[in-house]
Homo-oligomer: A and B are copies of this chain.
Amino acid sequence: MESVIEQMKSFFEPKSIAVVGASTHIMKAGYIIFRNFVQNKRANIFSGELYAINPNEDFILGYRCYPSLSKTAAEEIELVVIVVPAEYVPSILREAHLKRTKAAIIISSGFSEIGNHLLEEEVKSIAKKEGIRTLGPNCLGVFDPHTGVDTLFLPETKTSITGKDMIATPRPKMGKMAVVTQSGAFGVASLDYLAGRRLGISKFVSFGNRIDIDETDLLQYFMADEKSDVILLYLEAIRKGERFMEIAGEVTKVKPIVVLKSGKTVAGAKAAISHTGSIAGSDQVYNAAFEQTGVIRAGDMEEFFGISKAFLFQPPTFGNNVAIVTDAGGPSIMASDECELRGLKIQDLSEESLCELEKMRDIGEIPKFASISNPIDLTGSVTSEMFEHTVRVVFDDSKINAVIFLGLHHVPGLQEDFVDRVASVSRRFLKPIVSCDIGETEMALYIRSRFEKLGIPSYSSPEDAAMAIAALYNYGLYLKKKNCFDTYLEKYRNKRSLVIDIEEESISRTDGLISRM
């Protein structure tokens, strides 16, 4: 028997696909999904065979429409996407078997989430009997930017009253985050968040009622998937606790899993039951399970994305001594508070570092009113060069494990090149650094986005920056305990040097910074 990893390929890179319930009505899911494939095929992103199935249509977007799977000439249809009312799903699965279908994505809702357990059980047993691996029902299915599989049935654009088109359901660019979600709505929201923040994904999977493929299968797949460096998992309940723990514990030895587990209170658990019919179980049990398996649990949505971003860009650490380099006294206190609350230490620098900073202060290489005890506050008189030199001293300090760079861009002496200077220094080290710039206008957004282009995750509040370092520290501790830290770091180093080569080249080819925004 094929492994689940092999089987999953039928969802992500099928040689042939049929959309059952394909439609010409442009608001219908069956139209939107079929159109996704047609568009991706025309753009040479999707390369498989494509079939439209609907007894009431002749042609859809130039494709002949077949009344049923069996009426197609295909000997084999590897993946079937089902968008018909729930009651028709069993017969379609039976028919799919005749076309040697290996995988089905059941988009349709109307199963256990509304109390229709019998129908769900029937579908489940047919799929099992016929050997069809199934995603859903009541899900969004798959979006894979590499292969063009895209079963998201939400309209990509909406036309406003004034006639302007706006992107309603954006697809993020290609990247290294794998997004796995039990909730379709939260899944779409994630795509919108990641696209807006310019973070890329490797694959997106919404599994809904999971009669077959569940979170653990997906973890297993993404563990082996070289396109994925970080796994983002939204869950309302774990299906099979023991198996989850076994697999998750293996995955986290090689790549981080960041989980957002909702239903943690009585009110939340009650809401979860009426949503996907999930029984949430005790939150303490979940906490213990995540801790034991090295799964990083986010406290809320912002943390979920913020932590994932930290893992995407930076290495973990198993030391908790943090240095803060800043030009902003108040915000550095806020960061210090959050560090302590999350188990990090604002560590005194070594004697050597203090001497060096003192010397720099004496000869005017940093401002004469600079505070050189940690947080190192270069004050509003800072320049880009001063930040560069100070960050170097701090990285060089063997007492320091991680750096929070809190350089607000507003001060007069700071030109935009401070981002590149800090990034350039940080690349020579394998210690994590995160940055923070506060503000929501153009330049603040630009500075944060520039940091991330150069591999430093950037946050809009001091507390979020501290939170990110805490996550890198907790994961580093776990890796160390499992004796996997060195292997992980080595892999990180290799991946980073690849990325940096490309980035350095792109920098040297461009004169200005703004043009690279």
Contact = CB atoms under 8 A, between A and B. Distances in A.
Interface stretch (A128-136, A251-259, A370-378): A370-378
Given A114-B369, A329-B185, A330-B262, A440 B197 contact: yes
Interface string A301-337: 1100000000000000000000010011111111011
Contacts of A162: 511-515
A236 B168 contact: no
Contacts of A184: 329-330, 380
Given A267-B336, A274-B371, A443 B168 contact: yes
B441 A192 contact: yes
Contact of A196 (B264, B369, B440): B440
B442 A166 contact: yes
Given A158-B415, A263-B337, A330 B275 contact: yes
A128 to B, nearest CB: 26
Nearest to A512: B162
Contacts of A413: 27
Given A166-B514, A336-B268, A441 B183 contact: no
B346 A443 contact: no
A167 B443 contact: yes
Interface in A258-306: 260, 262-268, 270-272, 274-276, 300-302
A196 B447 CA distance: 14
Interface in A15-66: 27, 29, 32
Interface stretch (A220-228, A404-412, A423-431): A404-412
A236 B462 contact: no
A110 B369 contact: yes
Given A154-B410, A511-B161, A514-B162, A440 B195 contact: yes
A492 interface: no
B271 A346 contact: yes
A186 B332 CA distance: 10
Interface in A233-253: 234, 236
A155 interface: yes
Contacts of A371: 274-275
A412 to B, nearest CB: 5
Given A236-B333, A514-B161, A442 B185 contact: no
A443 B169 CA distance: 9
A154 B439 CA distance: 14
A494 to B, nearest CB: 31
A3 interface: no
A345 B266 CA distance: 10
B329 A275 contact: yes
A263 B161 contact: no
Interface string A167-204: 11110000000000111111111101101110000000
A53 to B, nearest CB: 21
A410 B168 contact: yes
A136 to B, nearest CB: 14
Given A267-B340, A461-B301, A441 B189 contact: no
Contacts of A334: 186, 260, 262, 268, 300-301
Given A185-B327, A196-B445, 9 more contacts: A114-B369, A154-B412, A158-B416, A166-B443, A192-B438, A195-B440, A262-B337, A267-B336, A267-B345
20 contacts: A158-B416, A160-B416, A161-B415, A168-B409, A183-B329, A184-B329, A184-B330, A186-B328, A186-B438, A189-B410, A189-B439, A192-B439, A192-B441, A236-B330, A262-B330, A267-B345, A271-B336, A274-B373, A274-B377, A276-B329
Q: Which 7 A-B pairs have the closest CB atoms?
A: A196-B440, A183-B330, A192-B439, A162-B512, A185-B328, A189-B438, A275-B329
